Structure 1
């Protein structure tokens, strides 16, 4: 019996549920990066970054290529970058709505109930 799609989606989103992984994917949305390039950008220990990259590799979200002793990472699909853009747009909308509500609360005004 195959795994239902909703369970696979849940696992996919669990994989995205870590700030270091999201930051890695954001960096890789721009271009491929060597591990050494990512470390100062992400600000974690090398072992932590390596661990998070392994999770992303296991889920087939990133791929590697080796040049000498340097390992370069890139996204397996441009759709990953698109997903991050969509998430940003959703969050922008949510936060804009919250900012408007906060402004209303601070001004002491309330909007009529619908």
Structure 2
């Protein structure tokens, strides 16, 4: 039983704990969180489009995207001289969404995500 928990990486002794901390560190930046939120609802976006969405310069967004790419959270596709970015998988998006939901709990009695769930039920 202990071996099964170790294999899936969810035990406190997991070899992935330090890597998980690195993932959190990568997402510990407001611009990178905004980039992930922007990409979660789009198939892919160019640097200039992302810069407009997150209200930062293309150069700043490009630097953040480079870090996210090194962390394998985003991947690219080139079309001519334009590079398009997309989330590599759903996990970074899920982490960011869960963090935003946790933040909603910290500031309000009835977080938005609970009100939406209650009205759609």
The alignment's TM-score, normalised by the length of structure 2, stands at 0.71
Counterpart position of 1:51: 63
Alignment map for 1:1-114 (pairs within 5 Å): 4-31=15-42, 32-97=44-109
Displacement after TM superposition at 1:71 (Å): 0.7
Structure 1, unmatched stretches of 5+, are 98-114
How many angstroms apart in 2 are the aligned matches of 1:14 and 1:29? 19
- Give structure 2 stretches of 5+ with no counterpart: 1-13, 110-121
The separation in 1 between residues aligned to 2:19 and 2:94, in whole angstroms, is 19
- The whole-number CA distance in structure 1 between the counterparts of 2:101 and 2:58 is 31
The offset of 1:92, in angstroms, is 1.4
Q: Which has the higher contact order (CA 8 A, sep 6+)?
A: 1
Structure whose alpha-carbon radius of gyration is higher: 1
C-alpha distance in 1 between matches for 2:80 and 2:104: 42
Q: How far did 1:61 drift?
A: 0.2
Could you list the per-position Cα deviations for residues 7-50 of structure 1 after superposition, in whole angstroms to 9, with x for gaps in the alignment?
11111101001111111101100111111111112222222111
> Residue 86 of structure 2 aligns to a residue in which SS?
strand
Structure 1 stretches of 4+ moved >4 Å = none
**SS of aligned partner of 1:87:** helix
Using the TM superposition, give the Cα deviation of residue 80 of structure 1 relative to its aligned residue in structure 2, in angstroms. Answer: 2.1
